[in-house]
A and B are shown apart, each in its own frame.
Chain A
Amino acid sequence: MSVDDDTVRRIARLARIAVEEKEIPHWRGEINAVLKFAEQLNEVNVDGVEPMTSVTPMQLPMREDKVTDGEVPEKVLSNAPQTQDGFYLVPKVVE
Chain B
Amino acid sequence: MATADNSKRIKGQTGEWEVVIGMEVHAQVTSEAKLFSGASTAFGGAPNSHVSLVDAAMPGMLPVINRRCVEQAVRTGLGLRAQINLKSVFDRKNYFYPDLPQGYQISQFKSPVVGEGKVVVDMPDGESIEVGIERLHLEQDAGKSVHDRHPTMSGVDLNRSGVALMEIVSKPDIRSSEEAKAYVSKLRSILRYLGTCDGNMEEGSLRADVNVSVRKPGDALGTRCEIKNVNSIRFIGQAVEYEARRQIEILEEGGKIVQETRLFDANKGETRSMRSKEEAHDYRYFPDPDLLPLEFDQNFVDSIAASLPELPDEKKLRLMKEGGLSAYDAGILVNERETADYFEEVAKGRDAKVAANFVINELFGRLNKEGKAISSSPVSSSQTGAILDLIAEGTISGKIAKDLFEVVWTEGGDPRAIVEKRGMKQVTDPGAIEKVIDDIIAKNPAKVEEAKAKPKALGWFVGETMKATGGKASPQVVNELLKKKLEL
Contact = CB atoms under 8 A, between A and B. Distances in A.
Interface of A: 14, 16, 53-54, 56, 58-73, 75-77, 82, 84-95
B66 A63 contact: yes
20 contacts: A14-B284, A53-B89, A53-B287, A54-B292, A60-B291, A60-B292, A62-B67, A64-B66, A70-B52, A72-B51, A73-B49, A75-B53, A76-B158, A87-B149, A88-B98, A88-B158, A90-B145, A90-B153, A92-B147, A94-B276
A56 to B, nearest CB: 8
B274 interface: yes
A73 B437 CA distance: 80
A73 to B, nearest CB: 5
B65 to A, nearest CB: 5
Contacts of A69: 33, 37-39, 52-54
A63 B65 CA distance: 6
A91 B152 contact: yes
Contact of B33 (A59, A66, A90): A66
Contacts of A76: 48, 51, 53, 56, 158
Given A82-B153, A94-B276, A54 B293 contact: yes
A93 B48 CA distance: 18
A63 B56 contact: no
A62 B33 CA distance: 13
A94 B145 CA distance: 10
A95 B274 contact: yes
B1 interface: no
Contacts of B66: 62-65
Given A62-B70, A90-B154, A91-B153, 16 more contacts: A14-B284, A53-B89, A60-B293, A63-B64, A65-B66, A67-B40, A69-B39, A69-B52, A69-B53, A75-B53, A76-B56, A86-B48, A87-B149, A88-B98, A88-B155, A93-B276
A95 B147 CA distance: 10
A89 B153 contact: yes
A69 B56 CA distance: 12
A70 B64 contact: no
Interface string B13-49: 0000000000000000001110001111000001111
A65 B155 contact: no
Contact of A86 (B47, B53, B293): B47
Listed from nearest, the 5 A-B pairs whose CB atoms lie closest are: A87-B155, A70-B39, A65-B68, A69-B38, A68-B38
Contacts of B48: 73, 76-77, 86-88
Contact of B263 (A54, A61, A64, A95): A95
B120 interface: no
A95 B52 contact: no
Instruction: Tell me which of A59, A69, A70 has the highest count of chain B C-beta atoms within 10 A of its own C-beta.
Output: A70
Given A14-B282, A16-B96, A76-B53, A92 B156 contact: no
B155 A89 contact: yes
A68 B36 CA distance: 12
Contacts of A56: 292
Contacts of A70: 37-40, 49-52, 55
Contacts of B149: 84-85, 87
A60 B98 contact: no
Nearest to B42: A67
Nearest to B55: A70
Contacts of A68: 33, 38
B327 interface: no
Interface in B50-94: 50-56, 64-70, 89
B250 interface: no
A60 B263 contact: no
B40 A59 contact: no
Nearest to B52: A69
B76 to A, nearest CB: 16
B182 to A, nearest CB: 29
